[in-house]
């Protein structure tokens, strides 16, 4: 699976998970597995292009490596921005959609 397709899939899953939320998506936390062959910079740039002018255009991707993962990418958490009290909502990604590749 190429990086563009991975990022498009993350975008689709994130938009679906946050659908109808009043606040925009702020962070998408992902782990990349041992088979992930791209650098963090390449991944960040590809994601920046994939999210352009979409419902998640405000989101930043937070990447961590986890060599114990068999999949390429796992979406761990999607959150909106913190409010004035320091709270944020976490959007649920169904387990069946959380892994890519």
Nearest to 88, CA basis, from 19, 25, 30 = 25
pLDDT tens-digit map of 49-71: 999 999 899 999 999 999 999 99
For residue 83, name the pLDDT band (cuts at 50, 70, 90). Answer: confident
CA distance 68 to 34: 7
DSSP 3-state helix, strand, coil percentages of the chain (rounded to 5)? 30, 25, 45
Number of Cβ within 10 Å of residue 28's Cβ equals 26
Domains of the chain as residue ranges with CATH: 3-100 (3.30.2320.50)
Reported pTM:
0.89
């Amino acid at each position: 699976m190429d990086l563009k397709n991975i990022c498009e899939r993350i975008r689709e899953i994130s938009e679906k998970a946050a659908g109808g939320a009043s606040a925009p998506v702020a962070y998408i936390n992902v782990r990349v597995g041992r088979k992930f062959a791209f650098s963090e910079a390449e991944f960040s740039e590809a994601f920046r292009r994939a999210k352009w002018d979409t419902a998640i255009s405000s989101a930043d991707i937070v990447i961590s490596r986890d060599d114990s993962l068999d999949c390429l990418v796992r979406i761990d958490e999607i959150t909106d921005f913190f409010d004035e009290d320091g709270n944020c909502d976490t959007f649920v990604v169904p387990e069946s959609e959380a892994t890519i590749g």
